Chains A and B, each alone.
Chain A
Amino acid sequence: MELTLWTYEGPPHIGAMRIATAMRDTHLVLHAPQGDTYADLLFTMIERRDARPPVTYTTFQARDLGSDTAELFKNAARQAVERHRPALLLVGASCTAELLQDDPGGLAKTLGLNVPVLPLELPAYQKKEDWGAAETLYRLVRGLHRPVAPEDRAPKTCNILGPCALGFRHRDDVAEVRAILAQLGIAVNVVAPEGASPADIARIGEASFNVVLYPEIADTAADWLERTHKQPRTRTVPIGVGATRDFIAEVAALAGVDPAPALALESQCRMPWYSRSIDSTYLTGKRVFIFGDATHAVAAARVARDEFGFEVVGLGTYSRTHARAVRAAAKEYGLEALVTDDYLEVEEAIRAAQPEMVLGTQMERHVAKRLGMACAVISAPAHVQDYPARRSPQMGFEGANVLWDSWVHPLTMGLEEHLLAMFREDSEFHDAAGPSHLGKATVAAPANDEPKTEPDGAPCWDADAEAELKKIPFFVRGKARRNTEAFAAERGAASITLDTLYEAKAHYGR
């Protein structure tokens, strides 16, 4: 048993729903108790879809337990086919139905439905949402795939794999990547699962390679296509300017075309100039903590260091299935990757790292708010505001522009920061005023700034030193306090004086 308050991922059947909801002409029948329909509102509310997800639930109740639940399932499957007339029926079970003896796949096959049935195994007590999505897409591809010999495949065509329902910015990422491919003269054969019908899935073999946008969703299917059908796949996820350039090179090589026309799109990207403009100098070495799904976390770290000039002080993911990529990336930044799905551990790590900015999920947004830190959302899970009306990709050159705006915005702007330092004691810029974007609620937020009783053996702050500490801008004060205390402790100092403070400052730099 695992004590949980927040969960980064839902159970695997939610992943299956994300695939079914993304597709056309496909219906999912879930053997599930009354109440599991709550998941519908993730799609109708958070993603604001205008139709119900194509999912029928058996909604069995206690009085149905016993032999009746199998009958309920058969009725639900029969009625779903009659009413929705899908081209393909997916069947599976949610966590409770997994405990019953009914076998949805077997039951559906005995019904003699005039529609192909694809059974899904969704082990709810071992796996989670992203795995459920990846597995469902893999089963679909494997089950419907019509093999085409490599020499018979259309040259300069690819599939785009991964975008699905409830994906973080999937809608706009696809448009961005399509524009890049169009520029290279590469035709898109199938986008899956978003917008694909079962017939489209069957045509996946006709393309000469696969573009994998979201490894968490599409790796399993793409790896199988590569292994079994020699259909190569991309490895670079085009988030950030550098990654987009690499992606263009990779795609151009796979299609055997000249990358130059797509690389020329960079002339429309403002991000590199914005990052070089002098107002951005203050971003140099900003300490940033990054957490999210593996793909977005790794991509964000590269952008943060190489394109924003930040210092990455923490990198982690909740995706255990893709943790290897994050561990490898973390090593490159001289860090130990944090792989956990316990948000309290993440909060602890953030507290310890004392970053100036957090890039994370909805949950890190709440943690950062509580700690009085700037934050931007880079990954699911996200709330409704991160499924925006405006075009806001993360991928490609426009995606880089979006990253620039959305990460810089929460930070105190350069001029504002300068003013804060200059008019430190001014009535409008005093400590308790807090950064304007965080609102009044956070006035008391940087709790670790307040003088507190030191634990045994830890050095005490002299009144002078404490007062001097308060003159340091609040957004770096936590770090200054920590550094000074560490410095004093290392030297066995009993108390922290003005000198200790400035000795430590000299020792550590800013």
Chain B
Amino acid sequence: MNAPTTCAAEGNSTEIVRDPGQRAVFCGLTGIVWLHRKIEDAFFLVVGSRTCAHLIQSAAGVMIFAEPRFATAILGERDLAGMADANEELDRVVARLLERRPEIRTLFLVGSCPSEVIKLDLAKAAQRLSRDHVGRTRVLSYSGSGIETTFTQGEDACLASIVHELPVAEVGAEPELLVVGALADVVEDQFARLFEQLGIPVQFLPSRRVVLDTPVGPNTKVLLAQPFLTDTLAALEKRGARHIAAPFPLGAEGTEGWLRAPAQAFGVDPARLEDTIALPRARARRALERYRPALGGRRIAFFPDSQLEPALARFLSRELGMRVGEIGTPYCNRRIMGPELELLGESTVHEGCDVERQLDRVRASRPDLTVCGLGLANPLEAEGLATKWSIELVFSPIQGFEQAGDLAELFARPLGRRERLAV
């Protein structure tokens, strides 16, 4: 295996080390678990193996029984024997599915490792099926495979597939803000109110209904609400949209920076911005104060998981006084992450992972808190290391002023629990 390679990120003092090796991460299929809650009229059909079905079942936990809008078309031996057969089989499965669930407006065919290795052309299948079910259901496709995507990159691939389908904005259309990245409904509503107070016309992608009618064009200004949207941003830029660089809306400072960037881009009067954010920002700071004693000075390390890690590290170090050790992230887009890395200052970001070697480093440095996946958390606890399981950070509402305190609490809780327990 290759040795780690190092390069300094452009224009700031954060060092980025690339670690090749065994990775302990989810694949992009996992994104379905939260995306299907967000996009209410969509269904996600994975074309894959029993492993894929088993993964989603394990990740979705009890949710699997609340009439979920996802399923797996499990490839059998017959499907592997010949391509044409597999396409016919897929058509049959989709027809049966749409018969049973006529309310589905958008169907995502989600590629997996097996479907990609046998080169089943899901893009072509989506086109064919869109024609077959025209007027009722749009069929899109994207890859959530482990060989292509890591965890939250599944959302990126999904949103990019939506962008390709969005209508073209009229020439000379008024500038409009497009906030991209699935947010909890409560967070989306808070942000919508703030943008309204700022007088910025805003759309969200994905919206609760995947009405594929948000026009995109040179008038579109893109603000990413999540850091893992490389391909979606590229697809939007290809359509002429412009990216507004900003830190991510985690914590009081992050949220302020995230609102300030579009306010500037839309020429909002600074006094109006100050009026809008003064109260919620003060509330957020007050909420954070409560957790400073518990978290200040404590050392934290991150295993790679969601690409949220650099932004979380920035929030925890700058707003709560934590000392940040190693920051693992599955992928670090220098441009998107630029504002975060600048705020983060002198740190080391490890891109990719060699899980055994990172475990060695964590065991040697023994941080006060280790952010990691569920496969590592209990084993590390058993070794006496406090952990915070990372997947919760993707499922919980953590963005915005009103959630800043909740976000801090997620990290304070495992430490508080260890102090509390007398057994």
Q: CB within 8 Å of B: which residues of A? A: 1-7, 9-11, 13-14, 33-42, 44-45, 48-52, 56-62, 64-65, 72, 75-76, 79, 83, 94-96, 99-100, 124-126, 128, 366, 370, 383
Total A-B residue contacts, Cβ distance less than 8 Å: 174
Say which residue of A5, A44, A65, A94 sits within 8 Å of B51 (CB atoms): A94
Chain B, 74-116, contact with A by CB distance < 8 Å: what is the 0/1 string? 1111011000001001101100110000000000000001101
Inter-chain pairs besides A37-B23, A62-B116, 15 sampled, C-beta below 8 Å: A1-B76, A11-B49, A34-B147, A36-B27, A36-B51, A44-B375, A44-B377, A50-B381, A60-B147, A62-B148, A64-B147, A75-B1, A76-B22, A100-B117, A366-B65
- Min C-beta distance of A457 to chain B, whole Å: 25
The residue on B at minimum CB distance from A13 is B51
The residue on B at minimum CB distance from A5 is B71
A59→B77 contact, CB < 8 A: no
- Is B212 interfacial (CB-CB < 8 Å)? no
Q: Please report the C-alpha to C-alpha distance between residue A36 and residue B24 in the assembled complex, in whole angstroms.
A: 8
Tell me how many residues of B have a C-beta within 8 Å of chain A: 62
The residue on B at minimum CB distance from A381 is B57
Instruction: Collect the chain B residues with CB atoms within 8 Å of residue A50's CB.
Output: 378-379, 381-382
Q: Please report the C-alpha to C-alpha distance between residue A62 and residue B145 in the assembled complex, in whole angstroms.
A: 9
Given A2-B76, A125-B76, A7–B54 Cβ distance below 8 Å?
A: yes
Given A37-B25, A95-B114, A96-B114, A124–B50 Cβ distance below 8 Å?
A: yes
The residue on A at minimum CB distance from B97 is A3
Say which residue of A4, A37, A52, A65 sits within 8 Å of B117 (CB atoms): A65
Q: Please report the C-alpha to C-alpha distance between residue A230 and residue B57 in the assembled complex, in whole angstroms.
A: 42
A65→B147 contact, CB < 8 A: yes
Q: Please report the C-alpha to C-alpha distance between residue A76 and residue B73 in the assembled complex, in whole angstroms.
A: 31
Between-chain CB contacts (< 8 Å), 12 pairs? A3-B96, A5-B72, A9-B50, A34-B147, A34-B150, A37-B23, A40-B376, A49-B379, A64-B147, A83-B356, A124-B49, A128-B50
- Is B201 interfacial (CB-CB < 8 Å)? no
B89→A59 contact, CB < 8 A: no
Q: Please report the C-alpha to C-alpha distance between residue A128 and residue B29 in the assembled complex, in whole angstroms.
A: 21
B73→A2 contact, CB < 8 A: yes
Instruction: Collect the chain B residues with CB atoms within 8 Å of residue A7's CB.
Output: 50, 53-54, 57, 74
Say which residue of B55, B71, B150 sits within 8 Å of A4 (CB atoms): B71
Chain B, 285-319, contact with A by CB distance < 8 Å: what is the 0/1 string? 00000000000000000000000000000000000
B22→A1 contact, CB < 8 A: no
Instruction: Collect the chain A residues with CB atoms within 8 Å of residue B29's CB.
Output: 35
The residue on A at minimum CB distance from B28 is A35
Q: Please report the C-alpha to C-alpha distance between residue A132 and residue B327 in the assembled complex, in whole angstroms.
A: 38
A5→B77 contact, CB < 8 A: no
Instruction: Collect the chain B residues with CB atoms within 8 Å of residue A100's CB.
Output: 117
- Is B59 interfacial (CB-CB < 8 Å)? yes
Given A1-B86, A4-B72, A14-B54, A40–B116 Cβ distance below 8 Å?
A: no
Q: Please report the C-alpha to C-alpha distance between residue A83 and residue B356 in the assembled complex, in whole angstroms.
A: 9
- Min C-beta distance of A120 to chain B, whole Å: 15
- Is B26 interfacial (CB-CB < 8 Å)? yes
A3→B93 contact, CB < 8 A: yes
B147→A61 contact, CB < 8 A: yes
- Min C-beta distance of B250 to chain A, whole Å: 25
B375→A59 contact, CB < 8 A: no
Instruction: Collect the chain B residues with CB atoms within 8 Å of residue A95's CB.
Output: 49-51, 113-114
Interface residues of B in 133-151 (CB under 8 A from A): 145-148, 150
B22→A59 contact, CB < 8 A: yes
Chain B, 343-365, contact with A by CB distance < 8 Å: what is the 0/1 string? 00000000000001000000000
B376→A99 contact, CB < 8 A: no
The residue on A at minimum CB distance from B72 is A4
Instruction: Collect the chain B residues with CB atoms within 8 Å of residue A65's CB.
Output: 117, 147
Interface residues of B in 1-49 (CB under 8 A from A): 1, 22-30, 47, 49
